[in-house]
Amino acid sequence: MTLQNIGVIIVGGGITGISFGRLLQLGGFEDFLILEKEETAGGLCQSQCIKGHVLDLGGGHLLCSRHPEVYDFIFAHIPADEFHTFERVSKIAFDNETVDYPIEYNLWQLPLEKRVDYLTSCMQAARTAEAPENFEDWVRWKLGDAIADKYMIPYNRKVWGVEPNELDTDWLQKIPHHDTRLIVKTCLMGQGDQSVLPSHQTFMYPKRGGFQRIFDAIHDPVQRHARLSNPLINLRRTGDHWVVNESYRTKLVINTIPWGVLHSATHSPPQVSDEVARLRTSGLVVTLHEEAYDHDCHWTYVASPGQPHHREFYINNFAPHSEPNGIFRETNIKRFGGAPDALAVHINEHAYPIPLKGHSEAARQVWTAYANIGVIGVGRWGQHRYYNSDVCIREAMRTAQELLTRGMTLRAGEAISYGSSGLV
């Protein structure tokens, strides 16, 4: 069978893969293909309209970035005035109460006895010693046993589907910074402080459709490069080339899918199977429901072990064009036992890279072993990091820029750098 020569093969048609392709195109390089397993591209950034409700199939997606260049890139494809901007309103449901997020600066919203218990526990947390290395101990050390036992540990057990003491602590930029004085002050004053929200303090959401509108706008100009229903099933090295699915020959593969999937498709892969096995992912089920609500909250974190889902979104409060009373819920696939009342159920096989202990070092080794032979990992899966879509775009920018500068060549041992620390 004749092989087609292609400059770059991009594996995965999610926001990372299509942004990478678009950036190559903008850089004047058109000799690339994007292989996508599913019938539709978009990955976790897909949305659907069901009975008038806007449903983000990958769970709650909002636009918020620390990277101005990412906004520039997005708004060059879809104008900024096509978005609403919201001040974040999010809640935490735990211990039969509901308070604003983040919990430690909103203890004043609890009944008096609980306020005293939680505040005392916070103050007793011994933060003088060195930070512990697993997540469970870290939470106890940072926020005290009460918040750990009633909120952080049950909530994270639900999200990740593993025991919190198996988790690392190197992804915790996602959690608010911690100021003991402010905890006491907010509790005494009976007033929170919006400025301590760690991310998504304000966020944007499209005025029409769902989050996928961002994806579609970037995808449109590169659509003809995408091959849908075309999973990577076979990756074979011959000389200094890769043969992909016995159809294409290329020198450079950009990987945006979980390494476990790519590794098992590779003939004679690099000797990093143990490290690949440590890069576990978790699956997520998103269900759509119709339930009356009359508040301005955008989403709630649900810690109670009695409820299978860990988060729910009130669609109409950030997508006013959506039908009233739409709610969607996120449930770890391991906890999902069916949702007979749901209007729609969507399964995301790979939703989160699980930050198990040692995951960063394993990811670095896998990334480097493959980069040395011309397979460069980019994005949430390619770098196996808890990246939001804006960071995926930024990493695609960084990598595409580096490769375009080198004339799209990559010699063994000349791997480009492994990525940023910019978790958002």
Ligand X SMILES: Cc1cc2nc3c(=O)[nH]c(=O)nc-3n(C[C@H](O)[C@H](O)[C@H](O)COP(=O)(O)OP(=O)(O)OC[C@H]3O[C@@H](n4cnc5c(N)ncnc54)[C@H](O)[C@@H]3O)c2cc1C
Within 8 A by CB and 6+ apart from 299, the residues are 60, 90, 91, 311, 312, 313, 314
Among 43, 308, 353, 374, binds ligand X (CB under 6 A): 43
The answer to whether 232 and 265 have CB atoms below 8 angstroms apart is yes
- In the complex, the smallest distance separating the C-beta of residue 55 from ligand X, rounded to whole angstroms, is 13
> Distance between CA atoms of 388 and 249, rounded to whole angstroms?
31
Q: How many angstroms separate the CA atoms of 163 and 154, rounded?
A: 9
Closest CA to 159 of 82, 71, 60, 76: 60
Listed ranges 43-51, 100-108, 182-190, 290-298: which one lies at the site for ligand X (CB under 6 A): 43-51
State the Cα–Cα distance between residues 48 and 61, nearest whole angstrom: 13
Q: For the purposes of burial, counting CB atoms within 10 Å of the CB of 423, is it exposed (0-12), middle (13-18) or buried (19 or more)?
A: middle
Contacting ligand X (CB under 6 A), which of 8, 10, 23, 36?
36
Q: Which is nearer to ligand X, 175 or 284 (CB)?
A: 284
CB of residue 31 vs ligand X: minimum separation in angstroms? 19
101 is a site residue for ligand X (CB under 6 A): no
- 165 neighbors 135 (Cβ within 8 angstroms): yes
Smallest Cα–Cα separation from 376: which of 1, 17, 13? 17
If one asks whether residue 60 binds ligand X (CB under 6 A), the answer comes out as yes
Instruction: Report the nearest approach of ligand X to the CB of residue 186 (Å).
Output: 26
Judged by CB under 6 A, the stretch of 140-148, 171-179, 296-304, 378-386 that binds ligand X is: 378-386
DSSP, collapsed to helix, strand or coil, labels residue 109 as: helix
Q: What would the two tokens of residue 282 be?
A: 């978790």
Among 380, 384, 394, 398, binds ligand X (CB under 6 A): 380
Q: Which helix or strand (DSSP H or E) is residue 4 part of? A: strand 4-5
Binding mask 240-269 for ligand X (x = CB under 6 A): ----------------xx---x--------
Q: How far is the CB of 286 from ligand X (least distance, A)?
A: 8
Structure tokens at 197: 């929200």
Measured from the Cβ of residue 125, the count of other Cβ atoms closer than 10 Å reads: 19
- Binding to ligand X by residue 232, rule CB under 6 A? yes
- Is 282 in contact with 259 (CB distance < 8 Å)? no
- Provide the minimum distance between the beta carbon of 311 and ligand X in the complex, in angstroms, as a whole number: 7
Among 6, 9, 14, 260, binds ligand X (CB under 6 A): 14
The footprint of ligand X on residues 310-339 (CB under 6 A) is 330
Which CB atom, from 17 or from 209, has the smaller least distance to ligand X? Answer: 17
Residue 16 within binding range of ligand X, rule CB under 6 A: yes
List 6, 24, 57, 58, residue binding ligand X (CB under 6 A)? 58
38 binds ligand X (CB under 6 A): yes
Q: How far is the CB of 326 from ligand X (least distance, A)?
A: 17
Whether residue 83 contacts residue 205, with contact meaning beta carbons closer than 8 Å, is answered with yes
d(Cα 395, Cα 70) in Å, to the nearest integer? 10
| Identity of the residue, 14 or 326, whose beta carbon is nearer to ligand X in the bound complex | 14
270: contact with ligand X by CB under 6 A = no
Q: Which of 15, 167, 254, 376 binds ligand X (CB under 6 A)?
A: 15
Cα(327)–Cα(282) distance, integer angstroms: 22
Give residues in contact with ligand X (CB under 6 A): 11-17, 35-38, 43-45, 58-62, 231-232, 256-257, 261, 284, 330, 350-352, 379-381, 387-390, 392
